[in-house]
Amino acid sequence: MIIEKDISQLGAGSYVIEIVKQTGHFKIKNPGWVRDFHAIEKLISKGVLRVKVDTSKTIPADELESANDDQLTEVDSALLSENDKLDKNKTENSSVSDQVEKSKRSEAAKSKNLAVQIVEAKHLYDEAKSIQSKVLNDIQEGKPIDSSQVKDFTEQSIETIFENPDALACVMNIRCKDEYLLEHSVSVSILISIFGKFLKLKKSLINELAVGAFLHDVGKIKIPDKILNKPGKLTPEEFEEIKKHAVHSKNIVDQTNGISDLSRAIVANHHEKLDGTGYPRGLKSEQLSKYDRMITICDIYDALTADRVYKDGMAQIRAFAILRELASNGQLDAPLVDQFIRCLGVYPVGSLVKLSSEKLAIVESRNADNPTRPKVKAFFSLRNNVFTMAKEIDLSVAENEQIERGVRAGDFDLDMNKITEFLLMQG
């Protein structure tokens, strides 16, 4: 039987024959089977929204691994020639249709499941890491930073956040220990954008904050790796060397064209504290703007939760406790810390939790009325130490289920990339 399926419903073993709906201009070059989540990821990356599948040719997932590669044709897609394949009768003025398409994409984003959202957002996240890598390489070679590339990413990420605020937040949980310097700046840029949206700031203002956050640690490229990645406690001399990165970052950004004063302030003040114990200038509360206070919160939160080569990050809820402790000690802005926690949620979307039923689950959506009882998707049995059929649970109505605590994949020798792959295969 030939039926249509949304891309979010596509699973391993499906036989795809045609693209029905998309945001690009592609066609199926070779109809075939979806071998794994990478094939789905490829279709998603090309803007495919809906496909036709032949259900009579579906191969059960448990038989897929043993299938003969010579007899199993993988689905492939190819870009259609813009000149040859597009309808030549289309009007050159497409502003109205563009707006309609944008609206459709927004609605489609809302209806996609969490795993698909993560895959799509990861493409943007990986692109941002490439930009960050180029920025650092240019600095090392004495070249000026191309601020236009940075702004392209921040503008795109902000649009994604306004259309679907949870997607990029999820991706920040899928990190590589070896790429902390790249990922930290990208993640802080995303965090301050999400926070800015929550505070109802204008997009133009959020973009300035995001650009500053993206560049806030570029000065670390001038710090020796043996100090930057030291696993043990830093000596007083080494800590003084580390602190110099804030000045290096400011000097580099001051020499970069196209950077606003607000973005420069974000770079210069991201380590300042309200009580004057921060660095490099030891500024106090009356000298620090609301935006300086925001970047400090975002920077500390990501530093606490991110994995590094020499240490694992902590669960989000523990990081929230530390932020509140720093606020009570007068170092951070207490009302802003509370707003930041409300913004992300007690259990942020994309984070892992241990349920009372001895299962692991990923948080799918927040519950504004009862933050400790969000919607989750259970996927792993701790009793049997195996992945299970993914099951959505609305904890606001589940009488015999509740969250015991927020956890990290590494606590159970699991990997977030593999968890995401598994959930995507489940559909």
- Please write the tens of the pLDDT for every residue from 131-185: 999 999 999 999 999 999 999 999 999 998 888 777 787 777 777 777 888 899 9
Q: Which fold has domain 102-344?
A: Hypothetical protein af1432 (1.10.3210)
Distances (CA, A) of 420 to 10, 113, 427: 15, 12, 11
**Residue 376 pLDDT more than 60?**
yes
Binned at pLDDT 50, 70 and 90, residue 73 comes out as low
Distance CA 278, CA 272 (A): 4
Average confidence (pLDDT) over 272-276: 98
Contact of 341 with 323, CB cutoff 8 Å? yes
The average confidence (pLDDT) of the chain is: 84
pLDDT at 345 (0 to 100): 87
- Which tokens go with 301? 């939160």
pLDDT at 287 (0 to 100): 98
Binned at pLDDT 50, 70 and 90, residue 264 comes out as very high
Which residue has 């609305």 as its token pair? 394
Q: How many CA atoms lie within 13 A of 270 on its CB side?
A: 36
Across the chain, which distance is largest between two alpha carbons, in Å?
Answer: 71
- Which tokens go with 218? 């570029």
pLDDT at 61 (0 to 100): 58
Residue of higher predicted confidence among 8 and 390 = 390
pTM of the model: 0.73
For the chain, the structural domain boundaries read 2-81, 102-344, 352-426
Q: How many CA atoms lie within 13 A of 135 on its CB side?
A: 31
Partners of residue 354 on adjacent β-strands: 360, 405
The pLDDT tens digits for 193-202 are 999 999 999 9
